[in-house]
Structure 1
Amino acid sequence: MNILLTEYNRRKKKNPAYSLRAFAKALGISPGHLSQLMTEKRELTYRSALQIFPKLELPAAEEKRILARLKKEESKGSFRSRVLKSLSQDFYTDLEVTRIPAQTYLQVGHWHHDAIFNLSEVGTDLKTQIKDIAHSLKLPVTRVRQCFSDLQIAQVITVEEGVMVSKVNSYQMDGHKSEALMNQLVSAYKESQREIFEKGMSCMRPEAPYHLLTSHCFKIPKKEFRSFAQAILSFSVQLEALYKNVDSKEDAELYFFSTQTVPVTE
């Protein structure tokens, strides 16, 4: 319940001529500020409540209860802001990410390309790599060969005389994206993620201790969603940087870390 709106209506009922301007003057705030508070376009802060409540003549117990709630919410909001800020730092510089045009990224955005890029090794014969990676990923040799070709065209790997001689540290999409291109990107991404999801579901067995499936449901203020999304992106980049240079001789598996934030309320 909006306590300011309730109080205004109470005063208006006693005096039909009572105006919003008069109410704002009585509370010591501007009419615009009051209007936003009453229509809930602006949140009532703990500090504002301390200023306003003494002029409302609320019952002491109710005033104490509301102030305690506002103080708790403000404290939580401040903590959330600090966490989001710390997670939203730009870690791309440390990771040395190469940005490629969106049109080019469309050709190398499937999970096959990402997996093959991460499994490929500089200084190794390309034919040998294609055979070994096809076996490891359970993909046709022709598909792996095509993905290597796509990665060369995108200039994220370099092959000379049948040997991969260099590759970038990591790559991300950059540049202007038209509506038509965005539709293509979304369509391709959906198909790629569908395959990853199905692969993940097939791994859900009691004897598969290294498969992690987790989901969480929580409320995100609309005004903070952009910060939330940036925090998730930055966190994934931190993970990538942490495990980017795992020695190829180590006993390691290739994992996909995939996130999806789905609104379930209208």
Structure 2
Amino acid sequence: MKSFSSYLYEQYEKRKSRNPQYSRRAFARDLGVSSGRLADYLSGESLPNSQTLEKLFQALNVSPSDQDAIFEKLKKQKYLSRGQGFTKQLSEEEFRQVSNWKCWSLLTLFRSFDFSPETEWLSKKTGLPESEILTHLKNLETIGLIKKTADGYILTDKSITTSNDVPSSAIREAHRQFLNRAQSALENVPIEQRDMTSITMCIAPKNVSRAKEIIAEFRVRLSELLEHEQPTEVYNLNVCLFPVFHGGSDEKN
């Protein structure tokens, strides 16, 4: 399946071949979007949210099988291009090798303004023994996230993401570990160095997909703010949105 913009452009060309007078303005009208928004979709500058995508599917009379293929392609495009521009998406197996919170945090530390590739510096910064740091560095090197040079290890990809909205035991375990670290921080980190709040709402479930999109946009905007200038400390943000009465045990995922 081609990119969403390519697919949309092909649909426009098909209509234009049947009617040479058919314009992009007419195409936008038939799709129910503005001309400017259509231009963004065709150029790849913008990607439709799930609600707009359903409207486009109806206007284009897209078959269910093609809808599934387009949705999967679009989902990957979103998370490889949104905000900072992710350059690499890890597979389940790749992420499993580096999903330990210590390993992932060590990788993030490479972005520190005062970063030094020596294991002695990394040990002092993280409090981890050098032997454990070497193990994590090896795992990161194995899947190509860092590489060893004459001057030490360096990053190979600066913006990395995992699969999204796909069941993954490795991702669940990583979330679990970071949530445990959050519990520890609640007791051990001064309040001026952390922020932990929650809100319990009665919601319309149909809006959850849009809420997830807003949360994703918020994460990108917040990371752009916090990683600006001269970052030196590794922080973790967890935004949890879930039904309180879901019927599951507190001991399970």
TM bucket (normalised to shorter chain) is 0.5 to 0.7
Shift in CA distance, 137/125, structure 1 to aligned 2, threshold 3 Å: closer
| Equivalent of residue 157 in structure 1, options 134, 146, 163 | 146
Contact 2:147–2:153, Cα closer than 8 Å, also in 1: yes
Q: Larger C-alpha radius of gyration, 1 or 2?
A: 1
Report the equivalent of 1:193.
178
The 5 Å alignment of 1:3-82 reads: none
Q: For structure 1, which runs of at least 5 residues remain unmatched after alignment? A: 1-80, 82-89
1:236 aligns with 2:225: no
CA distance in 1, matches of 2:105, 2:174: 16
1:265 aligns with 2:241: no
Contact 2:178–2:236, Cα closer than 8 Å, also in 1: no
CA distance in 1, matches of 2:217, 2:92: 20
Displacement of 1:176: 10
Letter paired with 1:107: Q
Displacement of 1:204: 5.1
1:170 aligns with 2:159: yes
1:116 aligns with 2:98: no
CA distance in 1, matches of 2:93, 2:220: 22
Letter paired with 2:183: E
Shift in CA distance, 246/147, structure 1 to aligned 2, threshold 3 Å: farther
Report the equivalent of 1:217.
200
CA distance in 2, matches of 1:121, 1:193: 19
Shift in CA distance, 204/176, structure 1 to aligned 2, threshold 3 Å: closer
Instruction: Encode CA deviations 1:45-83: one digit per residue, 9 max, x unaligned.
Output: xxxxxxxxxxxxxxxxxxxxxxxxxxxxxxxxxxxx9xx
CA distance in 1, matches of 2:132, 2:125: 13
Letter paired with 2:212: A
Report the equivalent of 1:99.
89
Contact 1:158–1:164, Cα closer than 8 Å, also in 2: yes
Helix, strand or coil at the partner of 1:159 = strand
Of all paired residues, the percent bearing the same amino acid is 14
Shift in CA distance, 244/231, structure 1 to aligned 2, threshold 3 Å: same
Displacement of 1:229: 1.6
Which stretch of structure 1 is more off in the superposition, 99-108 or 154-163? 154-163
CA distance in 1, matches of 2:135, 2:229: 26
CA distance in 1, matches of 2:219, 2:164: 21
Letter paired with 2:94: T
Helix, strand or coil at the partner of 2:245 = coil
Displacement of 1:239: 1.6
TM-score under structure 1 length normalisation: 0.53
Helix, strand or coil at the partner of 2:198 = coil
Q: For structure 2, which runs of at least 5 residues remain unmatched after alignment? A: 1-50, 52-77, 247-253
Number of equivalences: 170
Letter paired with 1:108: V
Contact 1:109–1:189, Cα closer than 8 Å, also in 2: no
Report the equivalent of 2:209.
226
**RMSD (Å), alpha carbons:** 3.4
TM-score under structure 2 length normalisation: 0.56
Report the equivalent of 2:233.
253
Contact 1:102–1:176, Cα closer than 8 Å, also in 2: no
Report the equivalent of 1:203.
188
Instruction: Encode CA deviations 1:203-244: one digit per residue, 9 max, x unaligned.
Output: 354xx4122111111122111112212211221122223333
CA distance in 2, matches of 1:124, 1:136: 9
1:136 aligns with 2:125: yes
Shift in CA distance, 246/111, structure 1 to aligned 2, threshold 3 Å: farther
CA distance in 2, matches of 1:260, 1:232: 10
Helix, strand or coil at the partner of 1:219 = coil
